[in-house]
Amino acid sequence: MTPAMIEITDLHKSYHNGATPVQALRGITLSIRPSDFLALAGPSGSGKTTLLNIIGCIDQADRGELTLAGIPIPSRNARPESRRQAREITRQQVAVRRKKIGFIFQNFNLIPVLTAQENVAIALTLLNLSPEEVFHRSREILGEVGLEGLENRRPGELSGGQQQRVAVARALVKNPLIVVADEPTANLDSETGASILNLMREIHQRRGTTFVFSTHDPRVMDRASRLCLLRDGTLQEEQERVLL
């Protein structure tokens, strides 16, 4: 048994901004291994985004436990005793995001005024690296995602698929422990979506990066090494298969 990369135990999360509270997650327990290329599937509103946001440390669970590569990430029930402690928790979350997590978003979220290379570099400039290293590593990864020669284009001069490749490069360039991708193919046509997924799988196999992504596209689910089905905030079903 490989040690778990992410350990999730009885995670709960509800939203209170409407008239009636919405229970987005109702007790999720899941162990993600480094070798996982894991897809979260389920109908819209089943809690996929909420779970990914908590794993990605941009949201906090109400209760339950989350451990990321041995680092315990506090949930809201572990109420901070002071503002100082709360700030410390926020700071820790920011540090985890900065160093250990790569994000890929449904709508790419590139900065329109920056070139592809600069959009990738932004993730590295936060890591105390020399400008030369930032430059070389961001170029190298752009080559790896198949964008050699397009480094100086701005997002507006790239196709949707190319933009998402830049986003994949941005998520991977800092060698994160895990890449979190919320519906990475939803804004792409199926062919382009498939190629992005192939790219992610290639990188997963070549670099051993752990991927967790959500989708409701059956063809995307088919390509995952592990498939978790969510319904109404609970884990319904798990399938595993060997990646071909």
Partner 1 sequence: MTGLRWGEISFLARLAGKNLTRYRRRTAITTGAVALGVGIFIAMTSLLQGIRSESERNLARYVTGSAAIASRGYWDDRSRRSLDRLVGNTSALLEKLEKNAIAAAPRVSFRGELIVHYDPYPEEGSLFLDFCGIDPRKDPAVFHLDRTIRDGRFLRAGEPEILLGSWLADQLGAKPGFPVTVITRTRQGFHQLLDLEVAGIFDTPHPGLNRSTVYLPLDQVQEDLELGEAVTMIHIALDEALPGRGDPTQAAQLAGEHSPGEPLEVLTFHEMTREFSRAFDMQDSMLNAILLLLGLIAAVGITNTMVMAVLEREEEIAMMQALGMNHRELRLLFALEGSTIGAIGGLVGLVIGAGLSWYLVTWGIDYTPLLEDLKSDYPFSGVLQGVWSVPALAGTPLGAICLATTVALLPLGRMFSLPITDLLRGT
Site for Mg ion in 35-74 (CB under 5 A): 49
How many residues belong to the site for Mg ion (CB under 5 A)? Answer: 1
Contact between 212 and 55 under an 8 Å Cβ cutoff? The reply is: yes
Asked if residue 177 binds ligand ADP (CB under 6 A), the reply is: no
**Among 4, 22, 58, 186, interactor with ligand ADP by CB under 6 A:** 22
Find the Cα–Cα–Cα–Cα dihedral 130, 132, 135, 140, rounded to 10°.
Answer: -110
Asked if residue 49 binds ligand ADP (CB under 6 A), the reply is: yes
Pick between residue 17 and residue 82 the one whose CB is nearest to ligand ADP.
17
**Among 5, 41, 50, 110, interactor with ligand ADP by CB under 6 A:** 50
Contact between 218 and 197 under an 8 Å Cβ cutoff? The reply is: no
Sheet strands side by side (includes 63-68)? 22-32, 6-15, 63-68, 71-73
**Among 6, 11, 30, 48, interactor with ligand ADP by CB under 6 A:** 48
3-state secondary structure 194-217: HHHHHHHHHHHHHHCCEEEEEECC
Half-sphere exposure of residue 153: CA atoms within 13 angstroms, side-chain side:
14
The rounded distance, in Å, linking the Cα atoms of 46 and 207 is 31
In degrees and rounded to multiples of 5, residue 93 shows phi and psi of: -60, -45
**Among 6, 8, 24, 101, interactor with ligand ADP by CB under 6 A:** 24
Q: Which of 91, 125, 89, 123 is nearest to 104 (CA)?
A: 123
Pick the piece of the chain touching partner 1 (CB under 8 A) from 27-35, 74-82, 123-131, 189-197: 123-131
CB 47 to ligand ADP: min, Å: 4
Mention every residue, 6+ apart, whose C-beta is less than 8 A from residue 130: none
Pick between residue 45 and residue 160 the one whose CB is nearest to ligand ADP.
45
Among ligand ADP, partner 1, Mg ion, none, the one that 24 touches (CB under a kind-dependent 5 to 8 A) is ligand ADP
The first and second tokens of residue 90, run together, are 């926020």
CB 193 to ligand ADP: min, Å: 17
The rounded distance, in Å, linking the Cα atoms of 105 and 238 is 24
What sign results for the dihedral spanned by CA atoms 106, 107, 109, 114?
A: positive
Among partner 1, Mg ion, ligand ADP, none, the one that 47 touches (CB under a kind-dependent 5 to 8 A) is ligand ADP
CB 64 to partner 1: min, Å: 17
Site residues for partner 1 per CB under 8 A: 49-50, 53, 56, 58-59, 91, 94-95, 97-99, 101, 103, 105, 107, 109, 111-114, 118, 121-123, 125-126, 128-131, 134, 170
Site residues for ligand ADP per CB under 6 A: 15, 17, 22, 24, 42, 44-50
Site residues for Mg ion per CB under 5 A: 49
